[in-house]
Chain A
Amino acid sequence: MKRIALVVLLLAVTVAGCNVPSAAPRPATAERPTVNVPLELRQRNWQGAQGMGSCTWASLVSLLRWQGRYYTADWIRQNEGDGEWPADMAERLDRAHVRYAYVTNGDVRFLEWACRTRRGCGITVKGGQHMVALVHLDAKWAAILDNNDVERFIWVPRETLIAEWKASDGWAIAPIYTPAAPLPR
């Protein structure tokens, strides 16, 4: 009987040393949107030297900050601006040694890649007159971050967004660096 009591005691002592689960709140579901750019890092649209809006650059700046490229983002904010065409923007980014990829053919696989890898991308909307950041794309929904209204994410059905993008020249551009880590689960 004494021997049994000893074994039980040993067992109790062992279990008493087990780790207590962390008290920090951990979300059970995946983060939405995937590219959850903090408010402070979202770049508002600004007026360039020629008086035009800088939506393409603003979208890119937000995504660069999300990918931890603060200096590059700040440099672009200070040195670039105004409206852009795909090739011109590519040329400027090449000169600035920014790592990026883009499409101008409305290939949805590019958007899927950008959101799957949690990098996001700038996409044209409004018939090619404006660019916003695509921050989420799943089987049903898409979310965009408009640089004219950075306070909130705009959720639209996936097909609606794709139709809008394809009707707007199908230009998308993504910086390729390390995305911010997901929230802990």
Chain B
Amino acid sequence: MNKLLLCLLCALALFAAVAPCCADTVNGVLSEERVVSLPNDQGKWYISVVGDSNDARYNEILGWFDNTPSLSNLRGQVHFCPVTTNTAIYTERYAPNVKALPTVRMQKPDGTVVYEAAGNDIPMTAGGLNSALAKAVNAIRGLRPVLPWRRDADNRLKKLERPQPQPQPKPDPTPEPIDDGGTPDMEPAVDLPGWIAAPLCGAALLVGLCWGYGRKLKEKIKAKLTPAK
């Protein structure tokens, strides 16, 4: 009886193993069902590092993306494309549009260039390049840069002792970052963007005009109010 039971179990086990393989037969060829998770990374940005493979500067910049934590982290978030000048990809897709070599180019998935630096315009250090890329990403996201003076003021304020409410309120959960799944996550940039100088000058001009006109108006009113002698 036991042997019969054992045989039955073995037969069941064999059937269970064979059944999935028979599930999908194409053209008389047994094909096994493969379960793979396809990467839905169409929203990923692209970073191309273009240059001559014999150029020390090109290799140095490539190395930054391997050895510097910030750039290495960024590399993991984008489609990273090292392109050398001896490839057809370079000849057809980069040669007509790069200004100099090496070139570092960051693009959105639709091809829009977010950052591009070539030759001597590439920052000297990995930190510099990371900062430049961060600025470009933040500018696209519309983030306001944290000004150095503001950062210092914030630090000073943090050090001040403030009355603590009792009991301590339960802290809110950290808000989820607004992310379209493609924009790389980078540290905020520090410097004031150059374009802001133009509206500032405009505002200064307006203030100057108003001030001058106000003075003249004041003098006129004063003259009118003063009794004629």
Contacts and interface: CB of A to CB of B under 8 A. Distances in A.
Interface of A: 3-4, 7-8, 10-11, 14-15, 17-18, 22, 24-27, 30-31, 36, 38-41, 65, 68, 70, 85-88, 90, 101-102, 104-105, 110, 113, 116-118, 128, 169, 171, 176, 178-185
B117 to A, nearest CB: 12
Interface stretch (B8-16, B52-60, B85-93, B153-161): B85-93
Contacts of A183: 93, 97, 111
Contact of A87 (B30, B46, B88, B195): B30
Given A17-B194, A22-B99, 5 more contacts: A105-B24, A181-B48, A181-B111, A184-B97, A184-B105
- Secondary structure of the B side of the interface? mixed
A117 B111 contact: no
A2 B80 CA distance: 55
Contacts of B105: 181, 184
Nearest to B97: A24
Interface residues of B, number: 48
Interface of B: 24, 26-27, 29-32, 34, 36, 38-42, 46, 48, 79-82, 87-89, 91-93, 96-97, 99, 105, 107, 109-113, 116, 194-195, 197-198, 201-202, 204-205, 208-209, 212
A70 B109 CA distance: 23
B79 A181 contact: yes
B42 A117 contact: yes
Most chain A beta-carbon neighbours within 10 Å: one of B30, B89, B109: B89
A38 B22 CA distance: 41
A162 to B, nearest CB: 18
B24 A101 contact: no
Contacts of B32: 87
Nearest to A183: B111
B30 to A, nearest CB: 6
Contacts of B110: 30, 182, 185
Given A14-B201, A178-B81, A4 B209 contact: yes
- Listed from nearest, the 9 A-B pairs whose CB atoms lie closest are A182-B111, A40-B88, A38-B92, A181-B46, A11-B201, A185-B111, A85-B29, A7-B205, A87-B31
